[in-house]
Amino acid sequence: MSITINFFEKTKSSNQLLESLNDANYFILDEFENKKEYYDAVKQVLLDGIEKLEGARCRQLVEKYGLCKLHEYFPADKLADLDLFVKGSHQIKKIMLQLTFSVGTNNLQISDEFFMEGNPFAFKISYPHQVAIQSKVTNADYHHKYSELRKKICLEENLKWQLRQTEIKFRGLNIDTLAQTVKSLTKIVVGKIKTFIQSHQKKTLHTYPGFERIAKQPYAAKVHQPHIDSWYGAPLGGTTLWWAIEGATEDNGVVLYPDFFGQAIDFRDIAASSSYLPFGITVTKPHKISVPDGSILLFNYDMLHSSHLNISDYTRIAIISQIYLKLEFNSDALHERGSGFYSSKDIAKGDLENLIKVSMREHFDELHKGKQKPHVEKRISVKVNSDLSAKTPIALCNSDTLGIGEKMLINLRNESVIAIRNANGLRVVSAICPHMGINLIDGFHDEQHIYCPGHGVAYCLIDGSSKCDLLKLEVYHAYDRNGVIFLEKVTSEV
Ligand code: FES
Ligand SMILES: [Fe+2]
């Protein structure tokens, strides 16, 4: 797997760049047309929102110390409202369409028609974990308000779309075209009712316990577990533009899993098991990416990715858009998304309003099925029907059960732990991540760390610590004796 971090290898042709993205590479785009103009305009919208919600003094402080220090001046409880302010901004929509078009045309040099998503664009803002968890405003509170905004935006866009259709139909009006127009408007209304009923049914079908837990988390601490966007209705094989506005470091940004690319996952079980990647699938090495302010991280969003829990000292702000080369969808997608798409052909003519509506159900791509290799993994686990006490070591299994570089899940009666054998011997830590209770056995590990498969936090195998004081694993003591692995509670000298 080759990973290139610098986009501007000018010798590469456009096709090579696109192929490269489709081959699990990712790039940071430092220079693009109108970068400063777009960047300043987005910051302006943010500052206006800050002033509207918290006053002129707060705006001045943020202007002085930077948006990456927003958490020091702007209350975490108002972050959801700031998000909605940005998402509702027509100015941002315009900037994102133009920027996405420009990157697709000028940087990726896509000569064929390509597509971009309608409103609202994904605006991502997160506060450092220790600050964020103080907030009382939950993801459920946010989602309630967000769905109202989304409904409003979709309604506006639909109205504009219907007017445009009517205008087109009425050109050269005669009784046939009028009848046709009435017929197509009726079709739209019926279609909307059907979609509403279907999405409602899907919602009922796919409510799972993971939602409950996520819903109760503070909005300011919102993070996504590993997923692939086409599971949720994004067209297959698109490119994500993850535009870092401010403060994106490897301790709060995107986590990519390029070595996982192209592996088959039966994600239909997601709804029943967890919120994102189902439990039981070991992820590959996480690539944590720091993106300079104003630069864009490009990756194929069919690559498994997640957010990194914000364990930095910065507020992290990013805006995300996508480029779709074709409008084909995963037929197993859990739901439809977006109000429609915009075509590069229209944007090229300066038309930022021509929404293209596509029914996913008519554009399923059956071809991707069966192409992927199934995900194969080796899981070693031991069940012990006793408690771990400080006094008595427990005999677990034969030493050769666990080879160098392997890890093993040990389910005891009172706790779960993970043993890792590396070149320095055996290391044992508690199995459950203290952030959101995800089992670390699905995470990648190396000689020094085990990485949470949820949101990328690295835990030291020697003392269980992470970069965040609030997140620490218990450590235990394990050793080989007479060909058997023994486990005991850690003592002070270990
Ligand atoms: S970092 Fe979120 S569950 Fe582990
Ligand atoms: Fe995503």
- pLDDT tens, residue by residue, 234-252: 888 789 999 999 999 999 9
Closest ligand to residue 225's CA: 1
Report the nearest atom of ligand 1 relative to the CA of 456: 1
Q: Give the pLDDT mean for 93-103.
A: 94
Say if residue 208's pLDDT is above 90: no
Residue 465 CA to residue 309 CA, distance in Å, equals: 15
Same domain, residue pair 390 and 306: no
CB 439 within 8 A of CB 432: yes
Please tell me whether residue 296 adopts helix, strand or coil conformation. strand
* 98 Cα: distance to centroid of ligand 2 (angstroms): 21
Same domain, residue pair 249 and 387: no
Q: Give the pLDDT mean for 447-456.
A: 96
Say if residue 273's pLDDT is above 50: no
Minimal-distance CA residue to ligand 1 atom 1: 455
Report the nearest atom of ligand 1 relative to the CA of 223: 2
Q: Give the pLDDT mean for 418-438.
A: 94
Same domain, residue pair 79 and 142: yes
pLDDT at position 308: 97
Say if residue 348's pLDDT is above 50: yes
Report the nearest atom of ligand 1 relative to the CA of 433: 4
Domains: count for the chain: 2
* 291 Cα: distance to centroid of ligand 2 (angstroms): 17
Same domain, residue pair 117 and 206: yes
Report the nearest atom of ligand 1 relative to the CA of 438: 3
Closest ligand to residue 227's CA: 2
Same domain, residue pair 357 and 397: no
Minimal-distance CA residue to ligand 1 atom 3: 436
β-bridge partners, 131: none
CB 231 within 8 A of CB 269: no
* 305 Cα: distance to centroid of ligand 2 (angstroms): 6
Say if residue 38's pLDDT is above 70: yes
Last residue of a domain, one of 314, 335, 365: 365
Type of residue at 377: E
* 254 Cα: distance to centroid of ligand 2 (angstroms): 9
Residue 306 CA to residue 442 CA, distance in Å, equals: 14
Last residue of a domain, one of 330, 365, 400: 365
Say if residue 230's pLDDT is above 90: no
Residues in contact with ligand 1 (CB, 6 Å cut-off): 309, 433, 435-436, 438, 452, 454-455, 457
Say if residue 182's pLDDT is above 80: no
Say if residue 10's pLDDT is above 50: no
In a domain, 494, yes or no: no
Residues spanned by the domain of 155: 14-365
- pTM, two decimal places: 0.85
CATH number of the domain that residue 453 is part of: 2.102.10.10
